[in-house]
Structure 1
Amino acid sequence: MYTTKIGLAPAIHDSFIASEPLGHLLQSSKWQEIKDNWNSEIIGFFDDDQLVASVSILIRPLPLGFTMLYLPRGIAMDYENTALLDYIFEALKKYGKSQKAIFIKFDPAIQNLPENEKVIQKLKNLGAKWMGLTAEMHDTIQPRFNAVVYKADFDEEKFNKKTRQALRKARNSHTIVKFGRDELLDDFSEMIQKTEHRKGISLRNRDYFEKLVDTYQADANITMVYLDLKALLIEAQTMFDQAQKAFETKETTNEKKIKQLENACSKAKKDLSVLTDLVQANGDIVAVSSALTVNFGTHTEHLYAGTDTDYQKYYTAYLAWFESIQYMFDRGAETVNMGGLENSLLETDGLLKFKKNFNPKIEEYVGEFDIPVSRLLYPIVNKLYMMRKTRI
């Protein structure tokens, strides 16, 4: 016999969700603390005394006292169990009515594979409205396409030649890698700000990142990559001295070789000048690339990354991503989701090309479903919701 527990203890919920194949960070109870501008609830579903499903619900107020309920990356459960699914749907609608919800939205991490077509049909048969295989990334709250790295595939020796060269260049450029949380927040936030300005987008501020790391504690990690500009300057001075000496003491009359020596000297002089200015402007050590990851169960979400493109010739972004992923694998993660991708998956997409350097699997999820609670108001509100998304 199935029963419902509204207000399930967060620890019990998290333990269950972390063990579920479809479990996700966004279904963790702590995510409710991150999204504290929404109301929230946890509901557990039992078969006799055994917990068989649990959902973290975010509740958004709408005008006139109505609400919408959102189950981010829920429902984590066994979708083969039709009787349980039917019970959960009815229980959610009953709870939705108590909250004056017009509809309930959920977007499980079910991959768009032929064997999952029956799950979509089952949900539709129970009354869910499927939003379909949407065409644009912004058509859904969570991205349908994600680049997911599996621990078994994360082997630097298997990376392509360009990626290995980029990592080698970064490591040979007097980089310093640090892992931490609160003590790295200022540098991390600065990297994100530079990324925002460069791309003309708005991400998050320091307060939000502080909330993330303070909420998830040891499950959160900031990876920072720094350049030792002083060491680079000393190296550049050495290179310039050697190039200048080679040019001044040349023992050849070959015009081509003389031109090569001249070009080497000119390049070394330029590099020395640039680094001298950088040290004067920024000091001996400068933050250049960053990443923020949060783990839940055995799955890690790579939530934010930033880099200072003034130093992109040192390939530090490659190192920041590599080190942040390896750090989470070393601490028990089995997968690291590098984040969303544009649905078109165009080979010219720079973000897709970059993420492919780390051998991810490109996973496509089935998207969003709505469970109408108010059948009278749902068509009207959903139309307004879709119009608003189109304008955005």
Structure 2
Amino acid sequence: MSLCVRSISRDEHLAFVEGRPSVSHLQIPSWGDVKPDWRAGSLGWTDGAGVLVGAGLVLLRPLPRLRRYLAYLPEGPVVDWHAPDLAERWLTPMLAHLKERGAFSVKMGPPVVVRRWSADAVKAAVADPDLHRLGDVEPTSYEQGARDVADRLHRAGWRQAERGGEDGFAAGQPRHVFQVPFAGRSLDDVRSGLNQQWRRNIKKAENAGVKVVRGGAEDLPVFYGLYTETAERDRFVPRPLSYFQRMWSALNAERPDRMRLYLAHHDGEVLAAATMLTVGEHVWYSYGASTGRRREVQPNNAMQWRMMTDAYEQGAAVYDLRGITDTLDESDHLLGLLRFKAGTGGQAVEYLGEWDFPLDKLLHRALHLYLGRR
């Protein structure tokens, strides 16, 4: 029997999220407040007894000059992805509900892990000139059932989305991330898992007098100054300061300490800063920023270790460093970031990626033509 999909209140949605050990920070009610260019709503799946068994944050973006919407569920929804009747029981009623609300296309990101690579496997792959992408590397482990989920989606008419940016219609979240598992490990185990260079850099920062402190909303402009410097150095378009101020207000209003800010000081100057997000037992290093000055005192390693320590002490099961490149090409400027994250001794993780379902094929095709012109 299919489940019923209906709009639910923020309180219902939040209660469902907080009853689970891990839900993406992009699937909590307050994330909709961070995205003012989208119209946000909460969906709920209920069984025959009216019990809420699934939930999702949906973001609706209008097609220019039309009252039709792209419906986007980033890293969600939170449903039983491994159910054998996934399409019929869970996804078909969701599509019907969204079509009634004016959606012409639906994009979602199943939080389903496909493969994992250990830090040692990543390090060896980066050093091998014959390997060009992480996907070419034999994984350390496969997740059982991921291929079945992909097959069910294909059979139901879903298609894997092409990679895009995060703005406008080209919504997209990283398919490859780097995570440090904490569950079942002591903090000493986590520290021992850092590579030798990381441990040396943390010690160097301590000896140099680097101090990592938590900041508040009033420190966001300091973070932002470093962030814009980072954007220029790493060649990406920065978000405005108001985006981070909105994140701080919205996320911490929903749950105190949902978002934290860390600042690495040295000789009276802030050299690095980063934001950290927490939902249940999952903690994310969200945005990082640093100056090119005094890099020899290793503020980034010191800051990350403080964040990892705090995450561990608050009961995190995983520390998530978010997106990594899947290219192993030495000419790619993002390869250095992959090396940095691999130094934590965690795992490179591949998710199933984002999937599209065109409810109106003509408008869906027009959307892709519009994106192509942009």
Q: Do these two structures clear the TM 0.5 threshold for a shared fold by scoring above it? A: yes
* Counterpart residue number, 1:41: 41
How big is the shift at 1:140? 7.0
Partner of 1:72: 74
Distance between the aligned counterparts of 1:384 and 1:22, measured in 2?
Answer: 37
Letter in 2 for 1:195: T
Alignment of 1:13-162 (within 5 A): 13-20=13-20, 23-47=23-47, 48-63=49-64, 64-83=66-85, 85-113=87-115, 115=144, 116-131=146-161, 141-152=172-183, 155-162=190-197
* CA separation of 1:39 and 1:312: change in aligned 2, threshold 3 A: same
Shift of 1:181: 2.3
CA separation in 2, counterparts of 1:316 and 1:207? 26
Closer/same/farther in 2, CA of residues 158 and 22 from structure 1, 3 Å limit: closer
Structure 2 residue aligned with 1:223: 262
Q: 1:305 aligns with which of 288, 310, 322?
A: 288
Alpha-carbon contact 1:347-1:353 (below 8 Å) kept: no
- Matched AA of 1:360: G
> What is the Cα deviation at residue 137 of structure 1?
8.6
Alignment partner, residue 348 of structure 2: 362
Deviations 1:4-61 (A, max 9, x none): 3533122321232344476211001110010121001111111122211111100000
- Quickly say closer, same or farther: Cα 1:358–1:128, change in 2 above 3 A: same
What is the alpha-carbon distance in structure 1 between the residues aligned to residue 357 and residue 302 of structure 2? 44
Assess, with a 3 A threshold, how the Cα gap between structure 1 residues 6 and 140 changes in structure 2: closer, same or farther. closer
Matched-pair contact (CA < 8 Å) for 2:193–2:344: no
Partner Cα separation in structure 1 for residue 216 and residue 107 of structure 2: 33
Task: Give the letter aligned to residue 61 of structure 1.
Answer: P
Partner Cα distance (1:198, 1:106) in 2:
32
Q: 1:202 to 1:377 in 2, by over 3 A?
A: closer
1 CA distance for matches of 2:273 and 2:361?
47
Counterpart secondary structure, 2:320:
strand
Q: Deviations over 1:106-137 (max 9, x none)?
A: 011211245311111111222212237x6x99
| 1:319 corresponds to | 302
SS in 2 for 1:54: strand
CA RMSD of aligned residues (A): 2.4
Q: Between Structure 1 and Structure 2, which shows a larger proportion of helix residues?
A: 1
Q: Deviations over 1:261-309 (max 9, x none)?
A: xxxxxxxxxxxxxxxxxxxxxxxx1111111011111112211111111
User: Which whole-Å CA distance do the structure 2 matches of 1:22 and 1:127 have between them?
Assistant: 28
After TM superposition, give the deviation of residue 317 of structure 1 in Å: 1.0
Residues 307 and 162 of structure 1, relative CA distance in 2, 3 Å threshold = same
Q: Which amino acid is 1:108 matched to?
A: P
Contact 2:175–2:352 (CA under 8 A) maintained in structure 1 = yes
Does the 8 Å contact 2:248/2:259 carry over to 1? yes
Partner of 1:188: 223
Give the alignment of 1:217-366 within 5 angstroms: 217=252, 218-228=257-267, 285-346=268-329, 349-366=335-352
State whether structure 2 residue 368 is matched by structure 1 residue 377: no
Residue 236 (structure 1) aligns with: none
CA shift digits 1:60-83 (9 cap, x unpaired): 000322211000001221123244
Moved more, 178-187 or 52-61: 178-187
TM-score using structure 1 length:
0.77
Aligned to 1:253: none
Q: Which has the larger radius of gyration?
A: 1
The structural deviation recorded for 1:96 is 2.5
* Structure-1 separation of matches of 2:370 and 2:343: 37
| 8 Å contact from structure 1 (residues 7, 43) kept in 2 | yes
Structure 2 length-normalised TM: 0.81
Percentage of pairs with the same residue: 24
In structure 1, list runs of 5 or more residues that go unmatched.
229-284
Q: Aligned AA for 2:288?
A: A
Aligned to 1:266: none
Is the Cα–Cα contact under 8 Å of residues 176 and 350 in structure 2 kept in the other structure?
Answer: yes
> What residue identity is the alignment partner of 1:151?
F
| Aligned equivalents of 1:53, 1:126: Cα separation in 2 | 20
Secondary structure of the residue aligned to 1:202 is: coil
Do residues 387 (structure 1) and 372 (structure 2) align?
Answer: yes
Equivalent position SS for 1:141: coil
Task: Give how far 1:177 is off.
Answer: 1.5
Give the whole-Å Cα distance in 1 for the aligned partners of 2:304 and 2:40.
33
In 2, distance between residues paired with 1:21 and 1:310? 40
Instruction: Number of aligned residue pairs: give it.
Output: 330
d(CA) in 2 for partners of 1:83 and 1:22? Answer: 23
